[in-house]
Amino acid sequence: MKTVKTLLAASLLAAGTMTAAAQATYTDQEGNDYQFKKHLFLDLQAGGQYTLGEGKFGDMLSPNFQIGLGYQFSPAFAMRLQANGLQSRGGWSGFRDKVGDQPFTAKYKFNYVAPGLDFMLNLSNLFCGWNPNRVLNVTAFLGAGVNVAYGNDEVQDIAANLQNLNNYNLQYLWDGTKARPFGRGGVDISIRVSKGVSIMLEGNANVLTDKYNSKKAGNSDWYFNALAGVRINLGKSKKSHPYQEPVQPAPVVENKYVEPTPAPQPEVKKEKEEIRRDIHFKINSSVVNQVGKDKIKELADFMKNHEDAKLTIVGYADKNTGTAAYNKRISERRALSVFNILTKEYGIQAHRISYTFKGDVEQPFPSNDDNRVAICVGTAE
């Protein structure tokens, strides 16, 4: 079915090319860092359906239910196995086969269940950045599956009293159980009410072959669902990076032994050895990425190879994001993140390292994004 293939191709393209842009870290107003965590979620929904047809609008409405089990792979991209179903409808309203005929009005319903797979794109996280505390999220989705229709008895009873089925467009009258592919798309709006629960409002449109409602129209058959329900996260959706206090240097024990004064020696001037590494960070984050960790290892190797070396770390924040007070705090956490890795993971003595922070008062780089940085300079005599 060409329409279904088009929907699937579009959804896969959106998932593959757009979700990488969604930010996976977040820093709240208290300065706590959080990172997105993959998780399952459960959707429970109920509502109504409108089956597109020639009957009166009210006659084409029916109840509808949906259950879905999804997996959130990233802040923007998720996949959901869902099953939608209950009733669809068909009918005629004042139908005349030719001029002069008595108007014919009738309606009928039949049952179905439609399991399928949805590819979901959280537009709020994609365009505004991931925020685990956001109250309202808007998600678009495309999907496909199989519609299994059955219980078509009412239109069979109507057809038994009609002389010519073709005059009433019943060329596709079916009986028993019929399985047909369908494609669908829609939007859901979730309103967060607690850490793991959101209220959901969803609208979706579903397209099938012309044979779904037993009537020949020369185009695809459609039905539309409006649903409300809840979304429950099955597991934690974030993990925290709590603020870490710096390791205090060990007290220096004064050595009272007085070395004898050596004989004067001619002064030999030594050249200083230096190393500089710039550790860059994502917006609103003090989490060191893998590139930054590789640079910190180089700093640690320098310190180990030069026992007299000292290291200075200066944290910065870009001027175009956040308030001055917030930028001061996050620049401190960036410097502190580097300090903690050097002392805790590589065992560099804390008294050999000093760190400070400038917030957005100083901007060492011309590019705004480059100023989310901790600049580290090591010097050995």
Write out pLDDT tens, residues 89-118. 999 988 887 777 788 899 999 999 999 999
Inform me whether the pLDDT recorded for 361 exceeds 50: yes
Q: How far apart are CA 62 and CA 58, in angstroms?
A: 9
Task: Determine the pLDDT at residue 270.
Answer: 59
Mean pLDDT of 148-160: 94
Mean pLDDT of 237-241: 70
Residues 337, 372 contacting (CB under 8 angstroms): no
Q: How far apart are CA 123 and CA 103, in angstroms?
A: 48
Give 16's pLDDT tier (boundaries 50, 70, 90).
very low
Structure-token pair, residue 41:
């979620």
Structure-token pair, residue 97:
């086969």
Task: Determine the pLDDT at residue 296.
Answer: 95
Task: Determine the pLDDT at residue 35.
Answer: 84
3-class SS string, the chain: CHHHHHHHHHHHHHHHHHHHHCCCEEECCCCCEEEECCEEEEEEEEEEEEECCECCCHHHEEEEEEEEEEEECCCCEEEEEEEEEEEEEEEEEEECCCCCCCCEEEEEEEEEEEEEEEEEEEHHHHHHCCCCCCCEEEEEEEEEEEEEEECCHHHHHHHCCCCCHHHHCCCCCCCCCEEEEEEEEEEEEEEECCCCEEEEEEEEEEEECCCCCCCCCCCCEEEEEEEEEEEEEECCCEEEECCCCCCCCCCCCCCCCCCCCCCCCCCCCCCCEEEEEEEECCCCCCCCCHHHHHHHHHHHHHHHHCCCCEEEEEECCCCCCCCHHHHHHHHHHHHHHHHHHHHHHCCCCHHHEEEEECCCCCCCCCCCHHHCEEEEEEEEC
Residues 141, 119 contacting (CB under 8 angstroms): yes
The mean-pLDDT minimum among 283-287, 339-343, 371-375 falls in 283-287
Q: Which of 140, 116, 107 is nearest to 67 (CA)?
A: 116
The mean-pLDDT minimum among 66-70, 167-171, 275-279, 293-297 falls in 167-171
From residue 2, alpha-carbon distances to 113, 167, 207 in Å are 22, 29, 11
Q: Give the range with max mean pLDDT: 11-25, 239-253, 264-278, 327-341.
A: 327-341
Q: Record the pTM.
A: 0.60
Give 381's pLDDT tier (boundaries 50, 70, 90).
confident
Task: Determine the pLDDT at residue 249.
Answer: 56
Q: How far apart are CA 88 and CA 110, in angstroms?
A: 6
131-149 pLDDT per residue, tens: 888 999 999 999 999 999 9
Inform me whether the pLDDT recorded for 3 exceeds 60: no
